[in-house]
Amino acid sequence: MWMKLLLAFIPISLLLEWVFHAPPLWIFATSVIAIIPLADLLRQGTEQIAARAGQTIGGLLNVTFGNLAELIIAIFILLGGNTTVVKAQITGSIIGNALLGLGLAILIGSFGRERQKFNRENAGQLNSMLFLVVIALLIPALFDYTERLPDFLAGSAAARGNLDEYLSLGVAGVLIAVYALNLVYTLVTHKDVFARGEEEGEHDDSLTLWPVWKAAAVMVGATVLIAVESEMLSGALEATSTQLGLSPFFLGIIVLAVVGNFAEYIAGSYFARQGKLGLAVNIAVGATIQVALFTAPVLVIISYLIGKPMNLVFSSPLELVAIVAAALTVTTVTKDGEATWFEGVLLIAVYLLLALAFFFVTPRMEGEAATLPISSLSTPPAHVHSLRL
């Protein structure tokens, strides 16, 4: 019932944006709330498809439709030329889906249950892809660091930037190809392996099936509305960050990433509560993989097409450590094919620790000076100062 009530925030947010031209903070807040019931509608459509086609396809559809909103948010931010926030959003989506999304699903799904089991083969395949994600995102950063050394030839920042761009385009092409081949492996050549464990105790006989056209229409309609709300949200980002005393980097890596992936969080937690933890794992970890192997490379290509080039060099060691930590933690939790509520707590705890670090970090955004006056070094960043107050 409360999800239906929250649907009222869709017209409210549209009126505030297009009719009343309300302050950005109001638009930002109402858009965030409006995305919640839309994410639940997306979850319902996924459940209908999964009931017919199985968890693997159902999870893939949920991940794909859920990530469309995130892709659209990132494109609008790219048009503004703020590639740092886009990269932060990519990092936030990877750690948010893998740690927060999966942690919530395991924790909520384990209430009243000693443990839940899921397909080990599927989890193993997902974990292998996670380590490919780590390697793919580490290589551009290490390459950039290598070219800064005196024994290498990229003597200027411009030359190094060109090399970073060429490498990022090559990496993007490889990642998209691997992601496509992974779909062939999972859905065609080895589909029987990944279908095991879906039959026993994981289907809800009480579910009233919709016509296929209705399920598809709900998913498409919810995705379109999520995209509209996401565009409004991204437009209010900079003014909201200033008003709240938060850095755009923090909003990108935590707030925008969580909002952009809220559909996956709701769907994963719901299915885990229904005893379908295998589908929840497919959604949470699958969304992480799709962001890194498809969404991020596509954004790199789009950035060049629109004249706002973005590379895959994550220059912040904290972002790289966060991605590695997410992959290692998820692999440790899922390698045995079963989970308990405390493992969900561990995943969420790692996410909260990383979120705290990102809150206090003070990255330099595009257009800001590379050096600060000495007098400013003792001054805390705006969002830390507001926290102290």
Distance from C-alpha of 282 to C-alpha of 275, rounded to nearest angstrom: 14
Distance from C-alpha of 233 to C-alpha of 310, rounded to nearest angstrom: 22
What is the full per-residue pLDDT of the chain (389 aa) written as tens digits? 778 899 999 999 999 999 999 999 999 999 989 988 887 888 788 778 877 877 677 778 777 877 776 787 788 788 878 888 889 889 999 999 999 999 999 999 998 898 998 888 888 888 999 999 999 999 999 999 888 888 887 667 788 888 999 999 999 999 999 999 988 888 888 776 556 555 444 455 557 889 989 998 998 898 889 888 877 887 887 788 888 888 878 888 888 788 777 778 888 898 899 888 988 998 899 889 999 999 999 999 999 998 889 999 987 889 999 999 999 999 999 988 999 999 999 999 999 999 999 999 887 655 554 444 434 444 455 555 444 44
Short-list 238, 264, 273, CA closest to 252: 238
Backbone angles phi, psi at 335, to 5 degrees: -65, -25
Beta bridge partners of 116: 339
Distance from C-alpha of 160 to C-alpha of 314, rounded to nearest angstrom: 14
Distance from C-alpha of 180 to C-alpha of 335, rounded to nearest angstrom: 24
